[in-house]
Amino acid sequence: MEFPAELRYSREHEWLRLDGDEGVIGITDFAQDSLGDVVYVAVPEVGAVLGADDQCGEIESTKSVSDLYSPVAGTVVAVNEALAAAPELLNSDPYGEGWIVRVRFADPSGVDALLDADAYRAYVEG
């Protein structure tokens, strides 16, 4: 399983890639593997204001339906429109083309509460 060192992670299995005063959010390799084949993704609308740990979407797979949570507080500035036609991108490329939303941080210090790659690896393997 992959745990890219440049990302930050939530205990709900979302990742965050920092990009200035914005962050890109997706689900981890561990999450997509646990879900199985993803068949549908519901994402928040551009402009939605999210709090840290707010439920902000839904992922449906052949095994279950899971909520998506925002690891940080912010405003949605973009969503991955490709997921509507190809939700399986979450399985095939969870850290790349399978990104879900981009948010502008309400408070960049919220990132400090997230796990680094080593801590996340220990969390899922523990």
pLDDT at 67: 96
- Here the tokens at position 68 are 């998506």
pLDDT at 119: 98
Give the pairing type, strands 101-105 and 22-27: antiparallel
**Cα torsion through 93, 10, 106, 59, rounded to 10:** 50
pLDDT at 68: 96
HEC string of 50-115? Answer: ECCCCEEEEEEECCCEEEEECCCCEEEEEECCHHHHCCCHHHHCCCCCCCCEEEEECCHHHHHHCE
Domain extents in the chain: 19-119
CA–CA separation, 44 and 23 (whole Å): 15
pLDDT tens sequence for the chain (126 residues): 899 999 999 999 999 999 999 999 999 999 999 999 999 999 999 999 999 999 999 999 999 999 999 999 999 999 999 999 999 999 999 999 999 999 999 998 899 999 999 999 999 998
For the entire predicted model, the pTM comes to 0.95
**Is 3.40.190.10 the CATH classification of the domain at 19-119?**
no
pLDDT at 54: 95
